[in-house]
Amino acid sequence: MSFNNELKDVMGGYNPHNVLLDSSRKLVEKWEPTGLLEGIEKESDVAGMAVLLENQAKQLIDEASQVGTSANQEQWSGVALPLVRRIFAELSAQEFVSVQPMNLPSGLIFYLDFKYGSTQNSGLLHAKDSDLYGNTSSSGDPSGGLYGAGKWGYSVNDTKTSGVTFATGSVSVADIRGDANLSASQAAGSLVKVLLSGSAALTNPDLEGVKSFAISGSGTAELTAFYPAFTSYDDSVDVISFIVDPAGAIVPGTIDVNYGKQPADTTRGDFETSFAAEGSNPEESNAGIPEVDIQMRSVAITAKTRKLKAVWTPELAQDLNAYHAVDAEAELTAMLSEYVTMEVDMEIIDMLKLNASAKTEYWSAEMGFEWNGSAFAQTSANVAAYTKGEWFQTLGNKIQSVSNAIHKKTLRGGANFIVISPEVATILESIPGFATDSDGDATKSYAMGVQKIGALNNRFNVYKNPYLQDDQILCGFRGAQFLETGAVYAPYVPMILTPVVYDPTNFTPRRGVMTRYAKKMVRPEFYGLVNVAKSNLV
């Protein structure tokens, strides 16, 4: 035991994860005395801010070594570090994506990918090399993994019986429980009910888990698809019913069945090997335990650059200071940094909208009309029964639909924030479920007028961006942990301030700012959209 502990202590220094944690703690301890980390609540945000301050300090040292340590440079060195904290706080996108500061101008985003390592149920429900969590990145419904009925049988020791005799029957609306996706096929008579004996045809089947049973065609039964959600067992007649879509005409014959076994007093139905006669050595056999494969994947990111400069006259600086006691240089620097921050904000929001794949809904402000993205159609409901306020509440149904789609695809939760334009805000703020955060004037905590204005139904934080004019609602989920999000904003150097440079011909001063960062969409299913039409009819 002591040897193992000593070995663990020795190898602990070579664990990259521990090295990163130690480095992060040291940076936090280094910058805590400056007071620039005060007020940041989350531990991950504190560590991120420490990395940004360290990157900024390194850049200041590099600049000083290149241009010399003039008095002007030393003066702005004391401003640059607090400016990092200010700029970071003004970035509203930090509420929508994960902020992971970079230590180098290029790097990799790592994530783990889990795959099925075995084929169970003859690949009908779980195929080798398919995604353990299913296909959730497309705009359609998620599939694979645990999505759907009967998908919980991968870790069960399944058994296959071939040549099982079956009969057929017609499918009623009750058999498919009025399912919207199968109603047309049922009405057209293309669905068939496959009937086979339970205990009589199968060996110790787990008849309480028939939805995990899978059937495949053999002989006269060639199947296009079968639907486990509607598999049932009638114990009064010992019959298992499968709803299938055959490739053509299907006649009674034989079929292959994959099923899980029910443990009994003499048959465990698990993965144990069988034993020989009493007194002999146990036989060794492959228990066939299904596998899960893990793969480490990475995505390369490289920091991009934004630059902006300001030019002013000495007369402007002198007059502004004389009449208003305002430092023109400081005001222009603040304006430059705020404008660059706002452009980064808008760039990230556009990235989220462009890639959002959870679901896209459509809504029209015109009472009694539905919009499907290309055309308007009058609803079958009695329009006279709605007031304008009641019709506006139907927008909440669309937002809730997108939220549930995000929950379904991310397995984390429904949307907890929405980003809207002022026109859409006019509609949402009139809905009874909207609760404002303040009087509308005290919430200017983000760059250039972006506000968190309140919450909808006590679950969606609402952010109003005055620069959005497309009347498109961005819905998204961001969890408590920095990993629970669908996109990454990776700042490298938050803000670089150049020294003031004077033009020798006209004494015009110049100052520039630059920021370097990377961004990456990782899981677009964390975001969805609601397109609003005819917002002018409010």
Q: Where in the chain is the domain with CATH 3.90.1690?
A: 16-105+303-537
Blockwise average pLDDT, block size 10, the chain, 538 residues: 52 51 72 73 71 71 57 51 64 85 83 79 74 73 78 79 87 91 87 88 87 75 78 92 82 83 68 46 55 83 92 91 89 85 91 94 88 72 75 93 94 93 93 79 64 91 91 93 84 81 88 90 93 86
Tokens of 132: 């353990």
Give how far the C-alpha of residue 396 lies from the chain's centroid of Cα atoms, to the nearest Å. 21
Residues 82, 90: Cα–Cα separation, whole Å: 13
Residue corresponding to tokens 């090399």: 129
Residue corresponding to tokens 């002999």: 280
Tokens of 537: 């009819």
Check residue 157 and report its DSSP letter.
-
Q: Concatenated DSSP letters for 16-55?
A: HHHHHHHHHHHHHHHHGGGTTTTT--SHHHHHHHHHHHHH
pLDDT the model gives residue 371 = 78
Amino acid identity for residue 146 in this structure: L
Residues 388, 381: Cα–Cα separation, whole Å: 15
Residues contacting 268, CB < 8 A, separation 6+? none
Sign of CA dihedral 342, 81, 71, 73: negative
Are 132 and 290 in contact by the 8 Å Cβ rule? The answer is no
Nearest 10 degrees: CA dihedral of 215, 221, 223, 229? Answer: -40
Pairing label, strands 223-226, 239-246: antiparallel
pLDDT the model gives residue 477 = 96
Write the CATH number of the domain with boundaries 16-105+303-537: 3.90.1690
Q: Measuring CA to CA, which residue among 385, 414, 389 is closest to residue 402?
A: 414
Within 10 Å of residue 390's Cβ, how many Cβ atoms? Answer: 12
pLDDT the model gives residue 387 = 84
Residues 486, 129: Cα–Cα separation, whole Å: 24
Residue corresponding to tokens 């014959």: 253
Residues 256, 160: Cα–Cα separation, whole Å: 7
Residues 365, 312: Cα–Cα separation, whole Å: 47
Amino acid identity for residue 39 in this structure: G
pLDDT the model gives residue 19 = 54
pLDDT the model gives residue 9 = 54
Angle, CA 445 vertex, CA 510 and CA 450 arms, to 5°: 85
Are 110 and 492 in contact by the 8 Å Cβ rule? The answer is no
Residues 78, 504: Cα–Cα separation, whole Å: 27
Sign of CA dihedral 499, 503, 509, 510: negative
Element containing residue 223 per DSSP (H, E): strand 223-226
Residues 289, 357: Cα–Cα separation, whole Å: 36
